[in-house]
Structure formats: C-alpha cells, structure tokens
Chains A and B, each alone.
Chain A
Amino acid sequence: SYVLTQPPSVSVAPGQTARITCGGNNLGSKSVHWYQQKPGQGPVLVVYDDRDRPSGIPERLSGSKSGNTATLTISRVEAGDEADYYCQVWDSSSDHYVFGIGTKVTVL
C-alpha cells in the first residue's frame, strides 16, 4: 500500500517559518492536500492540489512540491498555528485515500 512520510514533530519560534515535509514514491505525479487539526477539534483543509488554499485560509500557509516531496510552509508562525498537520493523496492504483502520519507543530 502507498505510504506518505512526514516528520513526527516540528518546533518553531513565534514569527519564524515552519516547514513540514511529506514524501512518497512518485509523489510528483499526485496531487497533495494538507489538513490542520487543532487540539480537540476536527481536521480542516488548508491546502489542496499541492498549492491552492480554500477561502478563509491565511496566505501565511502555503503549499509547494518538488520531485517526490511536498512541503507545507507556515510563515510568521503564531501560537494559534500549533496543531497537527496531515498530508493526503489519492492512490490511483488502489483507489484508496492515504494520509501521512501527521506532524505536530509546536510553537516555542
């Protein structure tokens, strides 16, 4: 089955930039989506199709992809950005949806 690899945790000081990576085999040919889950809440879509943002998501959150690695970048990090972030793709070979293990972002 298809596997997405994320770092378990990322720590960042307020005002700095956090980068969360997501890797997978042949990821360059797939669309990558990102979800934010704050403590005690359900997930929220923050980036879709590698780099597009739903309405209401601040520009400080941005997505990119290079080769087999996708990156969610959070600029000018705020305390409210502390959350778990999950990447997700659709694996066409199995017609299954796959999530990464999630990355916990801690604001120092």
Chain B
Amino acid sequence: QVQLVQSGAEVKKPGASVKVSCRASGYTFTDYYVHWVRQAPGQGLEWMGWINPQTGVTKYAEKFQGTVTVTRDTSISTAYMELRSDDTVVYYCMRGSPVVPPYYYYMDVWGKGTTVTVSS
C-alpha cells in the first residue's frame, strides 16, 4: 500500500524552527518527486516546493525561498522540511511525478498532515 507517513504535531515558540518528516512506503522513494504544501486554518492549499529524492535537487516557491529547506534521507525513505515560520498551519507532503519521463504534474498520494502550532 502506497503511503506517506508524516511526523506528529509540533508546538514551537515564535522564531524557532521546526523539522517535519515524511516517510514513504509501498513504492521506491527515489523514483518520485516529493512535494510540500501548507494550509493555514480555514484557508486554502499553498504549494511550497519539491525535492527530487534521487538527486536531492530542490525547487521552492518564491514566497518560501530562504525560510524553507527540504532534504531527504534515502536510507530510510524519508523527506524532511525544515522551516522558520511564525504561522500556525498544517503541512502536507505528497508524492508527485516520476523523476524520469513521462512526467505528470499532479500529486497522487498525500500524507495526513502535520500541524505546527506557534505559541509563546
């Protein structure tokens, strides 16, 4: 069964960074891009960026350049997103296109989300 399992909810203080993990199972982790999307309470979906797990190459939305870092550990089929943000939001990781052609541009498997709460 193809799935992405995300780390549990986090509470962080303003100004602190947080690292969210996303472990893939049921498929070859390095064969597909992994994307990250965030959703503020009552708001829509906002694409943040992707990582090519095979090469480690990343792409970020302009809004998140400099505040988000996506990495991966292929030995445990896990992608990570580290960010400095003072927003309370839910972060989702998703499986995207294969890393080799033919490419597609949708996300077919989603994690259940990780809630990051900012509180002093």
A-to-B contact residues, CB < 8 Å: 1, 31, 33, 35, 37, 41-45, 48-49, 54, 84, 86, 88-90, 95-102
Cβ-defined contact, B44 with A99, below 8 A: yes
Cβ-defined contact, B59 with A44, below 8 A: no
Cβ-defined contact, A42 with B45, below 8 A: no
Cβ-defined contact, A45 with B44, below 8 A: no
- The interface residues of chain B lying within 8 Å CB-to-CB of A88 are 45, 106-107
- The interface residues of chain A lying within 8 Å CB-to-CB of B107 are 45, 88
Number of interface residues of B (CB under 8 A): 20
| In the complex, chain B residues 61-120 whose Cβ is within 8 Å of any chain A Cβ | 61-62, 92, 104-108, 110-113
Cβ-defined contact, B106 with A42, below 8 A: no
* A99-B106 contact given A42-B111, A42-B112, A42-B113, CB 8 Å threshold: no
Cβ-defined contact, A43 with B45, below 8 A: yes
CA distance A35 to B39 in the complex (A): 14
Cβ-defined contact, A96 with B61, below 8 A: yes
Cβ-defined contact, A45 with B92, below 8 A: no
Instruction: Give 9 CB contacts A-B under 8 Å.
Output: A31-B104, A31-B106, A37-B45, A42-B111, A48-B104, A49-B106, A84-B44, A86-B44, A97-B47
Cβ-defined contact, A99 with B47, below 8 A: yes
Cβ-defined contact, A101 with B44, below 8 A: yes
CA distance A18 to B35 in the complex (A): 30
Does B10 have its Cβ within 8 Å of any Cβ on chain A?
A: no
Query: How far does the Cβ of B2 sit from chain A's closest Cβ, in whole Å?
Result: 12
A sample of 7 more A-B contacts (CB under 8 A), given A88-B45, A97-B47, is A31-B106, A33-B106, A42-B92, A42-B112, A45-B106, A88-B106, A99-B37
Cβ-defined contact, B104 with A49, below 8 A: yes
Cross-interface CB contact of B92 among A43, A90, A100, cutoff 8 Å:
A43
CA distance A89 to B45 in the complex (A): 13
Central interface residue in B44, B92, B106, by most chain A CB within 10 Å: B106
Query: How far does the Cβ of B106 sit from chain A's closest Cβ, in whole Å?
Result: 4
Query: How far does the Cβ of B52 sit from chain A's closest Cβ, in whole Å?
Result: 13
